């Protein structure tokens, strides 16, 4: 094993240059203009998987972006790891807030800045390099591995469920491993045992066939911007509780034991607030910040659009108003059921003065697992060896839709071992990854495969 770690330490500069090449491909799945880049990125990932010595590497076409598959199955009798990650990234706007170009990896103060550096290309690449080090130095891996790297995670993984359902035999494994989440804090590595789900919607209102002079017509017709604001205002009460009927029916309550564990974590609320630049924190009454983000559902307005927003003033009644609204869900809420409840209620509260269009966008189920299994313990030992500290256990507020699918369709537990940091600006300008965590992550991953080899399956 020492030879593997030595190899990793000797190749740090090369890793950085190679990762920059991956980060240079603008594989933004949400924007159709980037479709050719998304495909180019899938090809790059496949080529890289071949370079590091994986076998049966291929692009699986789906109704959307290709899934890249590769494996190495030369350890009969040893456990099989199914590694999952994504090569697509979020859009980069607002571009002017980036201190260096988003698709030109740039190192400043020990951090590599670029879109996808933390979410998720950097973390996928960390496993590529750990696998490469094993294969180069020993000509083999201590376990069997199957990798699927998808290109639609950032837009809801709509076609991946189908891929998993139709490739159950090919994907058979003992454990899923994912590195697509932050660690708890700088110097506090963690294993994540729960993710929230998601349900995403768009609401469009139309009041008239075109914009109107607000003097000639103001008072005679309802204003869509105003009506939309009134509808949104009804969605939560003052205590932050969501007022959609039935919304809380299936919410699994946080247990007292879990709340006690959350309290023990080294969470500094003042620092958290200041880092966000928020004058004051706020959320559902009766819950701490970590409980609100990890264990309680929310409803957020992700975007609002209506009327005149340029410089100066324009006296106009807008014809239309639009809102993007999403909910984060917790076990045992079901995105489809929540969508039905929400749609029914929105139609009910929309006044007759408006034409309403209600659109369901993507969703994903919440996920939670117990963490007293041998795979999680193996990850804990590997993290301790790679980072010099044993991990804490966390839940997260974000979503990775396929994790519940792995559980439901393949019956597999997942180990979420992420090396991002909570302040690394995933989805925002100036996304970055701490290079120390990236390199330690490669070493910890290499140890992890060795630790997994010792798990009896």
Residues that bind Zn ion (CB under 5 A): 119
Q: What's the min distance (Å) between Cβ of 284 and ligand BES?
A: 19
Residue 111 catalytic?
A: no
Cβ closest to ligand BES, residue 380 vs residue 401: 401
Q: What's the min distance (Å) between Cβ of 6 and ligand BES?
A: 31
Cβ closest to ligand BES, residue 133 vs residue 400: 400
Catalytic one of 71, 88, 152, 434: 88
* 399 contact choice in Zn ion, ligand BES, none (CB below 5 to 8 Å, kind-dependent): ligand BES
Cβ closest to ligand BES, residue 120 vs residue 450: 120
* 180 contact choice in ligand BES, Zn ion, none (CB below 5 to 8 Å, kind-dependent): ligand BES
Query: What is the C-alpha to C-alpha distance for residues 394 and 416, in angstroms, rounded to an integer?
Result: 10
Task: List beta partners, residue 150.
Answer: 86
Decide: 432 and 371 in contact? Cβ < 8 Å: no
Q: How many residues does the chain have?
A: 457
Cβ closest to Zn ion, residue 119 vs residue 150: 119
Query: What is the C-alpha to C-alpha distance for residues 179 and 177, in angstroms, rounded to an integer?
Result: 7
Query: What is the C-alpha to C-alpha distance for residues 217 and 75, in angstroms, rounded to an integer?
Result: 76
* 424 contact choice in Zn ion, ligand BES, none (CB below 5 to 8 Å, kind-dependent): none
Q: CA Rg, the chain, in Å?
A: 23
Question: Given the rule CB under 6 A, which residues bind ligand BES?
Answer: 119-120, 153-154, 156, 180-182, 198, 362, 364, 396, 398-401
Query: What is the C-alpha to C-alpha distance for residues 354 and 350, in angstroms, rounded to an integer?
Result: 7
Q: What's the min distance (Å) between Cβ of 402 and Zn ion?
A: 13
Cβ closest to ligand BES, residue 198 vs residue 228: 198
Q: Which of 47, 2, 1, 3 is nearest to 21 (CA)?
A: 47
Question: What does each C-alpha distance from 376 to 29, 322, 385, 425 come to in angstroms?
Answer: 31, 44, 14, 27
Q: Which of 370, 393, 368, 378 is nearest to 457 (CA)?
A: 378
Decide: 294 and 396 in contact? Cβ < 8 Å: yes
Q: What's the min distance (Å) between Cβ of 426 and ligand BES?
A: 6
Query: What is the C-alpha to C-alpha distance for residues 104 and 113, in angstroms, rounded to an integer?
Result: 8
* 70 contact choice in ligand BES, Zn ion, none (CB below 5 to 8 Å, kind-dependent): none
Catalytic one of 153, 154, 258, 396: 153
Cβ closest to Zn ion, residue 119 vs residue 185: 119
Decide: 328 and 397 in contact? Cβ < 8 Å: yes
Cβ closest to ligand BES, residue 214 vs residue 407: 407
DSSP 12-80: HHHHHHHHHHHHTS--BTT-GGGHHHHHHHHHHHHHHHHHTT-EEEEEEP-SSSPEEEEEE---TTS-E
Q: What's the min distance (Å) between Cβ of 180 and Zn ion?
A: 7
Question: What does each C-alpha distance from 84 to 5, 41, 109, 128 come to in angstroms?
Answer: 23, 16, 30, 12
Strands lying side by side in the sheet with 320-329? 298-306, 320-329, 197-206, 355-364
Residue 130 three-state SS: helix
Q: What's the min distance (Å) between Cβ of 59 and ligand BES?
A: 21
Residue 88 catalytic?
A: yes
Q: What's the min distance (Å) between Cβ of 90 and Zn ion?
A: 6
Q: What's the min distance (Å) between Cβ of 439 and Zn ion?
A: 22
Q: What's the min distance (Å) between Cβ of 439 and ligand BES?
A: 20
Which residue's beta carbon is nearest to the bound ligand BES? 398
* 181 contact choice in ligand BES, Zn ion, none (CB below 5 to 8 Å, kind-dependent): ligand BES
Cβ closest to ligand BES, residue 105 vs residue 156: 156
A 10 A CB-CB count for 95 gives 10
Query: What is the C-alpha to C-alpha distance for residues 18 and 345, in angstroms, rounded to an integer?
Result: 50
Cβ closest to ligand BES, residue 240 vs residue 397: 397
CA 155 to chain centre: 10
Query: What is the C-alpha to C-alpha distance for residues 150 and 205, in angstroms, rounded to an integer?
Result: 35
Decide: 94 and 158 in contact? Cβ < 8 Å: no
Q: Which of 254, 261, 243, 265 is nearest to 287 (CA)?
A: 254
Return the active site residues.
Answer: 88, 153
């Amino acid at each position: 094993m020492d030879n593997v770690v030595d190899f990793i330490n000797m190749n740090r500069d090369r890793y950085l240059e190679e990762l920059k090449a991956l980060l240079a491909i603008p594989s933004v799945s949400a924007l159709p203009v980037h479709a050719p880049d998304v495909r180019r990125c899938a090809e790059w990932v496949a080529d890289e998987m071949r370079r590091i010595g994986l076998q049966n590497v291929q692009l699986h076409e789906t109704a959307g972006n290709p899934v890249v598959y590769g494996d190495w199955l030369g350890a009969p009798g040893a456990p099989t790891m199914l590694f999952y990650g994504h090569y697509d990234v979020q859009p980069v706007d607002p571009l002017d807030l980036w201190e260096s170009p988003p698709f030109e990896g740039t190192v400043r103060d020990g951090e590599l800045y670029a879109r996808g550096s933390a979410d998720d290309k950097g973390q996928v690449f960390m496993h590529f390099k750990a696998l490469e080090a094993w294969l180069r130095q020993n000509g083999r891996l201590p376990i069997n591995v199957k990798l699927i790297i998808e290109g639609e995670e950032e837009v809801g993984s709509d076609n991946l469920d189908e891929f998993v359902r139709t490739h159950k035999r090919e994907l058979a494994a003992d454990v899923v491993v994912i590195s697509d989440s932050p660690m708890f804090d700088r110097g506090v590595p963690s294993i994540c045992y729960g993710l929230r789900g998601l349900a995403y919607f768009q609401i469009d209102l139309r009041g008239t066939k075109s914009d109107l002079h607000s003097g000639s017509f103001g008072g005679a017709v309802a204003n869509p911007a105003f009506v939309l604001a009134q509808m949104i205002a009804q969605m939560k009460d003052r205590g932050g509780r969501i007022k959609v009927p039935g919304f809380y029916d299936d919410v699994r309550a946080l247990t007292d034991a879990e709340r006690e564990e959350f309290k023990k974590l080294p969470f500094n609320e003042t620092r958290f607030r200041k880092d966000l630049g928020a004058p004051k924190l706020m959320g559902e009454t009766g819950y701490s910040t970590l409980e609100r983000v990890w264990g309680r559902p929310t409803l957020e307005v992700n975007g609002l659009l209506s009327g005149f927003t340029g410089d100066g003033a324009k006296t106009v009644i807008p014809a239309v108003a639009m809102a993007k609204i999403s909910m984060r869900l917790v076990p045992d809420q079901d995105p489809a059921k929540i969508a039905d409840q929400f749609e029914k209620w929105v139609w009910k509260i929309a006044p007759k003065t408006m034409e309403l269009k209600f659109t369901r966008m993507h969703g994903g189920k919440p996920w939670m697992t117990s963490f007293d299994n041998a795979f999680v313990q193996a990850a804990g030992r590997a993290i301790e060896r790679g980072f010099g500290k044993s991990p804490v256990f966390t839940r997260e507020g974000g979503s990775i839709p396929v994790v519940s699918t792995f559980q439901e369709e393949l019956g597999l537990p997942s180990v979420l071992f992420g090396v991002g940091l909570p302040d690394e600006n995933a989805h925002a300008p100036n996304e970055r990854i701490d290079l120390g965590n990236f390199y330690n992550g490669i070493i910890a991953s290499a140890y992890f495969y060795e630790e997994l080899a010792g798990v009896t399956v």
